[in-house]
Amino acid sequence: MGKRTDLRLVGGKEPRQHMWEAVRANRAEFTSRQIAELSGQSDGSVKNYVRALNKAALIELVDGAGEFADHRWRLVRDEGAEHPRVTVSGKRSLNGAGLENLWRSLRIMGEMTAAQAAEMASIGDVKVSQAYAHNYFGSLVRAGYLVTSDYDFQGPQTYKLAPGVTAGPRHPIVQRTVSLQVFDQNMNKVVFSCVESGGVSGESSPSNDIQEQNSRLKKLLVEFVAAGKKGPSISLLQRTQLELA
């Protein structure tokens, strides 16, 4: 069965999503100037995306007369409602693919460990580590999206949606700002925020594994020191066990 061509995404949209919807709505013929007006995006951003779509063989040039903004194009390969993630050279971008796969896996399975989620999310060229899955799910636990099973030292904790939470198809974004924020693309709003540095990168693996691991270990050490005589919490013990595994 072919993809429906009338579908549109709801909730918060990236700039390229607005551009892509304008392209699909004018598939027979369009100019980058028209797409900029229809999508509400800058001329420069639209030109770059048009070039990327052309190099990815998703659109083709119909008439190249005049300025680039007035070149006429047409859509030759419609890939559905979600905008194609392509680089300026026309290659497919994997940025965010790991998070998408993790979120999709959790919605399908209902409850799973970080290891299970990482294995299920590692598809093709997308590789997701267990620590990365644990980091992402941990942020969603703090945001109230997920809950964990009780930790009994017999096995790893599992994650599942918190009671009453409606899981839309688009993954929540843990934003890298001065504050830790979780942005729900389906509701187009920040649903959780607290003062903390860090976040979860859109890449499936850190660019510098040693540096990233050292940073996490330092944070764990600070938590152990702060725990004092009361001793570490179950959550801290579980996260430390995962880090040292």
Report the CATH number that the domain containing residue 44 is assigned in CATH: 1.10.10.10
Q: How many CA atoms lie within 13 A of 193 on its CB side?
A: 10
Question: Is 103 in the same domain as 200?
Answer: yes
Question: Is 109 in the same domain as 67?
Answer: no
Question: Is 26 in the same domain as 81?
Answer: yes
Query: How remote is the C-alpha of 159 from its chain's centroid?
Result: 18
| Gap between the Cα atoms of 176 and 203, Å rounded | 12
Q: Tally the domains of the chain.
A: 3
Question: Is 77 in the same domain as 109?
Answer: no
What's the confidence (pLDDT) of residue 220? 75
Residue that finishes a domain, picked among 93, 115, 139 = 93
Contact 97, 126 (CB under 8 A): yes
Strand order in the sheet with 111-113: 111-113, 158-161, 146-148
Residue that finishes a domain, picked among 93, 127, 161 = 93
Where does the pLDDT of residue 208 fall: very low under 50, low under 70, confident under 90, or very high at 90 and above?
very low
Q: Where are the alpha helices (DSSP H) in the chain?
A: 15-25, 32-39, 43-55, 97-109, 114-121, 130-142, 209-227, 234-244
Strand order in the sheet with 189-195: 173-176, 179-184, 189-195
Mean pLDDT of the chain, nearest integer: 80
Residue that finishes a domain, picked among 93, 116, 143 = 93
Question: Is 57 in the same domain as 131?
Answer: no
Which two tokens mark 197? 């540095």
High-pLDDT (> 70) share of the chain, %? 78
Where does the pLDDT of residue 180 fall: very low under 50, low under 70, confident under 90, or very high at 90 and above?
low
Domain span at residue 106? 97-205
Question: Is 85 in the same domain as 101?
Answer: no
pTM: 0.53
Express each pLDDT in 40-59 by its tens digit: 999 999 999 999 999 999 99
Question: Is 31 in the same domain as 65?
Answer: yes
Among 239, 233, 216, 225, smallest CA distance to 114 is for 239
